[in-house]
């Protein structure tokens, strides 16, 4: 009972340690500002497969194998796999991870899935239900466009508020009873759905910003700290539009996040050179940015404590076509430097 904090948070008694992290991305992501930090850049967005969905599955398998190898472990050492993607029935995950033969919790939190996977994985390790688990999330530009928007050949114009779905997969291995590693997960705040009535699928930032605001506020309230407790507060893929809304919401609460806040969707692409409009999005956006950019900065002590807040828009092709609004959700993970 003592580990529960406030209404929606947990402060782990035995903080799980991230012992390895891996990222695999597509060509466009490799050409962006973080390109030199990714483990693998695949120049063929089809990943040698016959269709886009198989390509994303192959990307997941590559990433899982990579993070296992980097951690110096065997796949048989992993008790559970917490993973998900953006596709209906999680087909990228189910087909991509079947050969791993690891017990699977398939997750859907839209673009917040990496936060959900980290939170559930950390809970399992902290509670003693698993020694080691993997948390993973992926997205692919072509599979997402095909499912949620238009066929790629349609060539529709994208408004300035639109984001570009990241082709990428990120994964980490969490372990208990370790004093070494890249970073530790000190706690989590599980977000709730927030629906402000947004209906524009080309403006995901506006749909997700209220949920990010709610989860960040809940985290600060539950842990009884203010925003300066963190070196960085990092959202998943709000992009320029969502960031503006979030900062305004926080300002109205008397909090200045202008210097503390970072958004993965705004880090992964060069807006001027890559024509990605408001930034990047997708499950893979926050996942690969975490694994390639955020965790190394926590590991080397540049950032002692960050709040990682992947954000998701909970729409489907069915709900959108029926004219329903787009609820948002955000899950927060407290990631800390491990003192030697």
pLDDT for 150-177, tens place per residue? 556 555 667 667 777 899 999 999 999 7
pTM for the structure as a whole: 0.95
Q: Answer yes or no: is pLDDT of 279 > 90.
A: no
B/e letters for 194-217, b = 16+ CB within 10 Å, e = fewer, are: beeebeebbbbbbbbbbbbbbbbb
pLDDT beyond 80 at 304 = yes
Side-chain-facing half-sphere of 320: CA atoms under 13 Å? 15
Residue 247: what are its φ and ψ, rounded to 5°? -60, -35
Q: Which tens digit of pLDDT belongs to each residue from 74-121?
A: 999 999 999 999 998 999 999 999 999 999 999 999 999 999 999 999
Cβ(237)–Cβ(281) below 8 Å: yes
**pLDDT at position 41 over 90:** yes
Count the residues in the chain.
Answer: 340
Average pLDDT across the chain, whole number: 92
Let me know: does 165 contact 276? Beta carbons within 8 Å. Answer: no
Q: Where are the domains of the chain?
A: 2-173, 182-334
Return d(Cα 21, Cα 147) in angstroms, integer. Answer: 29
Helix, strand, coil in percent for the chain, rounding step 5: 40, 25, 35
Q: What average pLDDT does this structure show over 277-290?
A: 91
2-173 and 182-334 agree in CATH topology: yes
Pick the CATH number of 182-334 from 3.40.190.80, 3.40.50.300, 3.40.50.720, 3.40.47.40: 3.40.47.40
CATH 3.40.47.40 is held by the domain 2-173: yes
Query: Which pLDDT score is estimated for 151?
Result: 59
Does residue 201 contact residue 231 with C-beta atoms inside 8 Å?
no
Helices (H) and strands (E) in the chain, counts: 12, 17
Q: What is the dihedral of CA 301, 296, 303, 272, to 10 degrees?
A: 140
Using alpha carbons, select from 208, 197, 206 the residue that is nearest to residue 159.
206
């Amino acid at each position: 009972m003592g580990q529960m904090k406030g209404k929606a948070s947990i402060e782990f008694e035995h903080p799980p340690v991230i012992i390895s992290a891996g990222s695999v991305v597509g060509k466009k992501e490799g050409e962006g500002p973080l390109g030199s930090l990714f483990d693998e850049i695949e120049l063929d967005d089809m990943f040698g497969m016959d269709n886009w969905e198989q390509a994303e599955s192959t990307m997941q398998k590559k990433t899982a194998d990579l993070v296992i190898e980097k951690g110096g472990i065997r796949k048989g050492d992993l008790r559970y796999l917490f993973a998900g993607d953006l596709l209906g029935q999680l087909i990228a995950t189910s087909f991509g991870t079947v050969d791993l033969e690891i017990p699977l919790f398939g997750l859907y939190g839209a673009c917040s899935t990496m936060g959900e996977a980290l939170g559930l994985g950390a809970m399992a390790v902290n509670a003693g239900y698993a020694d080691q688990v993997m948390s993973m999330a992926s997205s692919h530009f072509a599979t997402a466009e095909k499912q949620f928007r238009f066929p790629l050949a349609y060539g529709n114009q994208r408004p300035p508020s639109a984001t570009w779905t990241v082709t990428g997969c990120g994964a980490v291995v969490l372990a208990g009873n370790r004093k070494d590693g890249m970073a530790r997960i000190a706690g989590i705040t599980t977000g709730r759905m927030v629906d402000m009535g947004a209906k524009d699928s080309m403006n995901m930032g506006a749909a997700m910003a209220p949920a990010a605001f709610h989860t960040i506020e809940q985290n600060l309230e539950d842990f009884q700290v203010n925003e300066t407790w963190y070196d960085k507060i990092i959202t998943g893929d709000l992009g320029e539009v969502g960031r503006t809304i979030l900062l305004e919401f926080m300002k109205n609460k008397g909090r200045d996040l202008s210097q503390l806040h970072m958004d993965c969707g705004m880090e992964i692409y060069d807006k001027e050179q890559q024509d990605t409009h408001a930034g990047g999005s997708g499950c893979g956006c926050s996942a690969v940015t975490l694994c390639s950019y955020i965790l190394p900065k926590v590991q080397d002590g540049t950032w002692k404590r960050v709040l990682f807040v992947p954000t998701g828009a909970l729409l489907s092709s069915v709900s959108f076509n029926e004219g329903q609004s787009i609820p948002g959700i955000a899950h927060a993970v407290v990631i800390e430097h491990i003192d030697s």
